[in-house]
Amino acid sequence: MSAQQAGEDSPNPAPPRQLKERYDGVAKVTGKAKYAAEFSEPFPRKDLAYAFMVQSTIPSGSLVSIDRSAAERSPGVLAVLTPFNAPKLPVGKPQPPAPRTLSVLQNTDVNYNGQPVAVVVAASLPEAIHAARQLRIKYNQTPPKLDFKGRLGEARWPKQPGKEQPSDTRGNIGISRGKATVHLDCTYTTPIQNHNPMEPHATIAWWEGEKLNVYNSTQYISGDKQSLARIFNIPLDDVHTQCPYTGGGFGSKGSMWSHVPLCAMAAKIVNRPVKLVLERDQMFGPVGQRPTTVNKIQLAATSDGKLMAMQHDVVMHASVMEDFTEHAASPTKSLYASEANLVSEKLVDMNLGVTTFMRAPGEAPGTAVLEVAMDELAEKLKMDPVQLRLASYAEKDPSHDRPWTSKHLTEAYKQAADRFGWSKRSAQPGTVTEGNDFIGYGMATATYPANRSAAQAVVRILPNGRAFAGTGSQDLGTGTYTIVAQTAADALGMDPTLVDARIGDSTLPKAPVSGGSQSAASICPAIREAAMQAKLKLFELAINDPQSPHHGLKTTDLDTRDGKIFQKSRPSHTESIIALMGRNGGKPIEANGSAEPGEDKESYTSHSWGAVFAEVAVDRDTHMVKVRRIVATYDIGSLINNKTGLNQLMGGIVWGVSFALHEETLIDPVYGRTVNESLSEYHVPTNADIGVVDVTVLNIPDTKFNPLGARGIGEIGITGAAAAINNAIYNATGKRIRDYPITPDKIMEAKSSIMEEKSSLA
């Protein structure tokens, strides 16, 4: 951490004692941490049956028949479920909390290639897969909608109320455009992308009478519980969901998809515990994806770089099954203080699986395009890209005309620029070469909203000197366990290694979805509140105990440190918590806590910010891009834990490299199946693709946002990074690629006098 500045927003509280290592680090590297598919209890292991999800092989139409006879005779088969024999669910249309149109064998419609159309359950997975291949499925195919570019003219407004028009967020775009002297009008595209957490979606379900239990890899145990209760029309308390560890989610596990109720349905039919794990290729379609977007961006500025008008019109694809809007125009609404602003978001129906949240939904593609348009505008104005951004710096939220809870983006620009060495950059493309490489430098702004929801927690002080902290949250690999333990320890004045953290069980107090970068900001205040309440109960015990040195004092006279209760006015007067609790029956002291956004949340906007600088090398012959260095500084409020926090930001940046150069889901234009549905063909960066990633945070607490002063950091890292790389590629080559990902063929095809003249192959 290069900066530990005191913020003017609040007195900077003493930073909490951090857990230096991940709470769950040892469990993970020794294999003790169990993921959803790895459980073989509490049921007898031999009872576990295996389900395989069968998918449609046409993109549009309906099922005419499914001949199950051969599959049912196949060895080991316990059940074959299709829309023709599956039990009718009591609720016709499942309505999970995040509305999702599920495919749970209730009708014969086929809406995309890869849609679940049957489930085979067998005593082993190979037997289930073998039997699945023997199903004879007859379809009635109808013409599919698969040509996105050819159907852009059919783009329609989202079906939500209020969304059927452009959102004219401020001013008069025509009048303000008239005041400008420099205009930019460019179109940028981003591809379909699929989340690929290392752990695929996985579920084990078993019934105890009418009670449903599931282990499920998820970002939202209490959401799954609610969804399953609705789908099977059973009392909420009859559903128990558990997920002690999630091997990555990135938004794909924020909603519940078809395989979870299908697994529960199968378990009911065979009356055994059933495991259903998606194959890697099944991750492409049935469990959500980021839509492709086309972005027409029009910027208008005065000659000194003041933005007069910003217009951003997005057209994206949506599944014929369900609307989802990727708010790619969000950054255009609030990142700069333009005089006038107009954005629109429209959908084109496609015979593809449902689109959904993927890391930094909205802001990831939104900054990837807007921040390139800003670079193009800077060039037209012959202005430094940082200066252009400062010329329209939004001191308050221009979209809602209200203050930010905290914003220190100018410091982030400065700190990152200094560390990167931005002042030495030449604005003229193609001026720096090293051997066979053109070297380029680019920058962009990162932004993501700070979200927070109501959360509850329980904390126990134990008679052995340890403590317990629990909340019904989940750890996607982000560090939730670590900060739960650390937050409780900080409030209790304990060493953080003495706290046992428990999450990932729906019997724990309710916590929100681990999405929208909100878990830390939501649950830590609840943990802290529960710990404070437990501490008060502990003080009362001492005060009421005649044998305690603190007998008869007030709770406000006392505090705790390192396993002892001490008097604030006489810190040497202490009593050990173990001794006090031992004299009082040795029972744990337990307290609940809850926290939610304050009543004044409508009078502020909370965002995180960052400045991202990239250095790339572009090979003059192969046109391969190497991202040599990324230097970024973020304004994310207080950083709760250095190791897990900086890791989140770095992981986000790696996603930015992936967005810029690698990731793209390719759809077969005739059959509608994903062509590259494997990790060998769906390209993501490997370690060798990642150069130096150098991250700092300003660490200025945002206590108007929450008592910890900490905003979420799971998503902001991806924002801005792709644009910084894109802008660096332009600075290296003079080639502006407006279509992601920036693959060597696109650089090769783009015309630039610089590169061709200097190519050794020319």
Nearer to ligand MOS, 61 or 288 (CB): 288
Nearer to ligand MOS, 324 or 336 (CB): 324
Residue 552: Cβ-neighbour burial (10 angstroms; 0-12, 13-18, 19+): exposed
DSSP string, 34-82: PPGGG---SS-GGG-EEEEEEE-SSSSEEEEEEE-HHHHHSTTEEEEE-
Nearer to ligand MOS, 60 or 644 (CB): 644
State in angstroms the smallest separation of the CB of 357 from ligand MOS.
4
Q: Strand, coil or helix: what is 358? A: coil
Nearer to ligand MOS, 254 or 672 (CB): 254
Nearer to ligand MOS, 241 or 727 (CB): 241
| Catalytic pick among 363, 715, 756, 757 | 715
Residue with tokens 């956004």: 597
- Residue of 715, 717, 756 lying closest to 734 (CA atoms): 756
Longest dimension (CA), the chain: 92
Give the residue at shortest CB distance from ligand MOS.
251
Question: Is position 715 annotated as part of the catalytic site?
Answer: yes
State in angstroms the smallest separation of the CB of 359 from ligand MOS.
5
Q: Which two tokens stand for residue 650?
A: 């770095």
Cis peptide before 42 (omega within 30 of 0): yes
State in angstroms the smallest separation of the CB of 328 from ligand MOS.
14
State in angstroms the smallest separation of the CB of 14 from ligand MOS.
31
Q: Strand, coil or helix: what is 707? A: coil
- Residue of 735, 723, 627, 732 lying closest to 385 (CA atoms): 723
State in angstroms the smallest separation of the CB of 290 from ligand MOS.
9
DSSP H or E run through 733: helix 721-733
Nearer to ligand MOS, 252 or 533 (CB): 252
| H helices present in 274-433, as ranges | 330-334, 363-381, 385-391, 409-420
Buried/exposed code over 558-596 (b: 16+ C-beta within 10 A; e: otherwise): bebeebbbbbeeeeebbbebbbbbeebeeeebebebebb
State in angstroms the smallest separation of the CB of 251 from ligand MOS.
3
Cβ-based neighbours of 658, under 8 Å, separated by 6 or more: 683, 684, 685
State in angstroms the smallest separation of the CB of 145 from ligand MOS.
26
Nearer to ligand MOS, 315 or 360 (CB): 360
Binding site for ligand MOS (CB under 6 A): 219, 249-251, 254, 357-359, 361, 515-516
Nearer to ligand MOS, 331 or 515 (CB): 515
- Residue of 606, 607, 609, 605 lying closest to 697 (CA atoms): 609
State in angstroms the smallest separation of the CB of 605 from ligand MOS.
18
Neighbours of 215 (CB within 10 A): 25
Task: Tell me the backbone φ, ψ of residue 534, rounded to 5 degrees.
Answer: -65, -40
Say how far apart CA 395 and CA 398 lie, in whole Å: 8
Instruction: Cite the active site residues.
Output: 715
